[in-house]
A and B are shown apart, each in its own frame.
Chain A
Amino acid sequence: KAGVTQTPRYLIKTRGQQVTLSCSPISGHRSVSWYQQTPGQGLQFLFEYFSETQRNKGNFPGRFSGRQFSNSRSEMNVSTLELGDSALYLCASSRDNYGYTFGSGTRLTVV
């Protein structure tokens, strides 16, 4: 079966711009989570969606937002990019929140 697909794989943006990242979960998985990974902070939770509802949000500023569509695909948006937003953004899907399947990530570089 197809895995979790994240697009794009790589992205370079300028400070102040905004960016939208996309995640297509495994068919049948209704939970989609987003994580940010940086060398300094490690893996940090951004948000989790289930059936188009955000069930939890991590400790990130309001510039980070997300949504989930009726087909379970999810997007996350970062507005007014800062240099510190450079990171690997990982999306994970789960059927029942026991064990997650991750995508390959989107590596965002802010210059």
Chain B
Amino acid sequence: SQQGEEDPQALSIQEGENATMNCSYKTSINNLQWYRQNSGRGLVHLILIRSNEREKHSGRLRVTLDTSKKSSSLLITASRAADTASYFCATDDSDSNYQLIWGAGTKLIIKP
């Protein structure tokens, strides 16, 4: 079963612009992770934010977590064509017992 929803389902922006994707989840979590997937291939781990963290940065990525609203956002700054991919959030909640529960993903298209 899927934990939550991602918003928007699809996003198309110009190269150089910032892209923001949102993820909502349902249960209490230990951590939330963001992954990227190119064209139905394997998933690449981008960033992990723990439940006691509110913001985390990694290069051009900025992730926020609001546990009171059970939501997270992923910001990609200065987007590049190579950022075109699907982005998924996954939660590791206290009851999940070694499994990740996934959102439906946001398909991001960067136009040159």
Interface residues of A (CB under 8 A from B): 4, 6, 31, 33, 35, 37, 42-45, 48, 50, 55-56, 58-59, 88, 90, 92, 97-105, 107
In Å, the complex CA distance between A39 and B20 comes to: 23
Residue of B nearest to A47 (CB): B99
- Asked whether, in the complex, the Cβ of A56 is within 8 Å of the Cβ of B99, the reply is yes
| CB-nearest residue of chain B to A55 | B98
Q: Which of A43, A98, A101 contacts B102 (CB 8 A)?
A: A43
What is the CB-to-nearest-CB distance from B3 to chain A, in angstroms, rounded to a whole number?
Answer: 10
Contact residues, B2-44 vs A (CB, 8 A): 2, 31, 33, 35, 40-44
Proximity bits, B87-98, A CB within 8 Å = 1, else 0 = 010101000011
* Sample of 5 A–B contacts (CB below 8 Å): A33-B100, A43-B100, A56-B97, A56-B98, A105-B42
Known contacts A100-B45, A105-B41; A45 and B99 CB within 8 A of each other: yes
Q: How far is the CB of A62 from chain B (nearest CB, A)?
A: 18
Interface residues of B (CB under 8 A from A): 1-2, 31, 33, 35, 40-45, 48, 88, 90, 92, 97-105
B1 contact from A37, A59, A100, Cβ within 8 A: A59
Which residues of A are found within 8 Å of B100, using beta-carbon distances? 33, 35, 43, 45, 100
Chain A residues near B35 (CB-CB < 8 A):
102
Interface of A is mostly: strand
Q: Are A102 and B42 in contact (CB under 8 A)?
A: yes
Contact partners of A42 in chain B: CB under 8 A: 2, 102-105
Pick the contact of A43 from B41, B48, B88, B98 — CB < 8 Å?
B88
Question: A79 to B48, alpha carbons, bound, how many Å?
Answer: 35
A104 lies within 8 A of B41 (CB):
yes
Known contacts A98-B31, A99-B48; is A90 also within 8 Å of B43 by CB? yes
Residues of B within 8 A of A97 (CB): 92, 98
